[in-house]
Amino acid sequence: MAFRTSFRSMATSSRQSLKIGMIPADGIGREVLPGAKAAIQALGSSLPKTEFIDLLAGFEYFTKTGTALPQETVEVLKNECDCALFGAVSSPSRKVVGYSSPIVALRKKMDLYANIRPVSSVAPSPEEKPQVDLVVIRENTECLYVKQETQTVGENGKEARATRLITERASRRVGEMAFKTALARPRKHVTIIHKSNVLSITDGLFRETVRAVPTLPGVNGAYDSVTIAEQLVDSAVYRLFREPHIYDVMVAPNLYGDIISDAAAALVGSLGLVPSINAGDTFVMGEPVHGSAPDIAGQDIANPLAAIRSAALMLRHLGYGDGADRIENAVDEVIREGRYLTPDLGGKSKTSEVVSEVVKRI
């Protein structure tokens, strides 16, 4: 399964403790992150002594303090934590003076340059619906998410512009992550997602840089077994719904990766099932793909499985593969059994009930 993919391990045999920053942020983030914590705690002595450090961030925190991401949160993550889990943020769709998304800022400040989002079927699919087993690797620090926007008034009225940044360094790093991920998977296939037929300079640089990863100095044929394909982003979305089985590892600039991974979640039943990690060379932060879902916040019906799976991905990235397997197997059993599912999956269970069932199986 995609969730068992081995990513770059940051574990060391001398690790005596594990300090995990907990940033629930907004909405259902506060309801699903305790489930991830409970799953980790259920592993018991198979992990080093584990400490959870509660940290603040989010739009609600901004409305109270004028700051979405306190500097203290960043400093604690950098100086005290080995990894982190993030819940969800309620970034408004309208412009709010002084506000900027804390998760976007965290990715940049912690240099978490790759967002790794596995999407995989668990329950058998109907005959007309193919199985899904893919990983979207999204560049995490630039593209339009540099948030350099201006608005002026011209002869056509208001004119809004946004700067899109694609660099060789960022494209190379996320490309290397994609090839390393593909190398650890059975199919060993990478699809580069771009729109360089229109954006020939920015997407062209991304495409060319990722394609060149196998030829980098020091690689020495390590990726000879990995096949490379390309797909324009619009046709990639179309084929994702028609032929998801053709994809293995999809690597994309920030915006495309965000859209593609959310679309892929529809193929497996719910955003509430899809996990991710934000990964860098020295730090990793788990984050469920879903948003803060204010319409259901506080009702104990949010799906905790994406957050729990994100905790497992985080542990696997740190080198705790056995613990990650236990969590992922427990989640898969709950899904296949079908007795304890939240409303987004057609069930009637509460968030707390699903967490209890997963913990029992761990």
The H or E element containing residue 148 is strand 143-154
Tokens standing for 239? 């084929």
Nearest to 136 by CA among 235, 254, 225, 46: 254
Q: What is the largest distance, in Å, between two alpha-carbon atoms of the chain?
A: 68
Sequence ranges of the domains in the chain: 2-6+15-118+285-361, 133-267
pLDDT at 233 over 90: yes
Burial letters for 249-265: b for 16+ Cβ neighbours within 10 Å, e otherwise?
A: bbbbbbebbbbbbbbbb
From CA 335, how far away is CA 357, in angstroms rounded? Answer: 10
User: CA–CA separation, 60 vs 295, rounded Å?
Assistant: 15
DSSP type of residue 125: P
Q: Find the catalytic residue in 37, 82, 133, 145.
A: 145
The pLDDT tens digits for 102-124 are 999 999 999 999 999 999 988 65
The verdict on whether 195 is a catalytic residue reads yes
Q: Is the Cβ–Cβ distance between 171 and 179 less than 8 Å?
A: no
**Averaged pLDDT for residues 222-241:** 96
Per-residue confidence (pLDDT) for residue 2, from 0 to 100 = 40
Quick one: pLDDT at residue 13?
42
Q: What is the DSSP code string of 9-45? A: ----TT--EEEEEEEEESTTHHHHHHHHHHHHHTTGG
Structure tokens at 27: 């909405």
One-character DSSP codes across 262-294: HHHHGGGT-GGG---EEE-SS-EEE--SS---T
Instruction: List the catalytic residue out of 82, 203, 248, 258.
Output: 258
Burial (0-12, 13-18, 19+ Cβ within 10 Å), 230: middle
234 included as an active-site residue:
yes
DSSP letter, residue 46? G
Catalytic-role residue among 19, 188, 262, 300: 262
Q: pLDDT at residue 196 above 50? A: yes
The predicted model scores a pTM of: 0.90
Alpha-carbon torsion, ordered 181, 187, 188, 192, to 10 deg: -80
What was the pLDDT predicted at 128? 56
Q: Using CA atoms, how far apart are residues 23 and 25, in angstroms rounded to an integer?
A: 6
Residue type, 160: A
Q: What is the pLDDT of residues 146-195, one digit of tens each?
A: 888 899 998 899 999 999 999 999 999 999 999 999 999 999 999 999 99
Asked if 53 and 80 count as a contact pair (C-beta separation under 8 A), the reply is yes
pLDDT band at 16 (very low <50, low <70, confident <90, very high): confident
- Residue among 195, 247, 256, 340 flagged as catalytic: 195
287-337 pLDDT, tens digit per residue, is 999 999 999 999 999 999 999 999 999 999 999 999 999 999 999 999 999
Please say if 262 is a catalytic residue: yes
Q: What is the C-alpha to C-alpha distance for residues 193 and 136, in angstroms, rounded to an integer?
A: 10
Measured distance CA(161)–CA(53) in Å, rounded: 40
pLDDT averaged over every residue in the chain: 92
Q: Got the DSSP string for 78-113?
A: HHT-SEEEEEE----SS--TT---HHHHHHHHTT--
- Superfamily holding 2-6+15-118+285-361: Isopropylmalate Dehydrogenase (3.40.718.10)
Chain segment 244-279, per-residue pLDDT in tens: 999 999 999 999 999 999 899 888 888 899 999 999
Whether 131 shows a pLDDT value over 90: the answer reads no
pLDDT band at 1 (very low <50, low <70, confident <90, very high): very low
From the candidates 49, 54, 224, 234, which is the catalytic residue? 234
* pLDDT score of 229 more than 70: yes
Task: Compute the distance between CA of residue 359 and CA of residue 324 in angstroms, rounded to an integer.
Answer: 13
**pLDDT score of 239:** 95
Domain 133-267 has CATH 3.40.718.10: yes
- Quote the tokens at residue 10: 């940051």
212-221: per-residue pLDDT in tens? 999 999 999 9
**HSE-up (13 A, CA, CB side) for residue 121:** 12
pLDDT at position 93 is 80
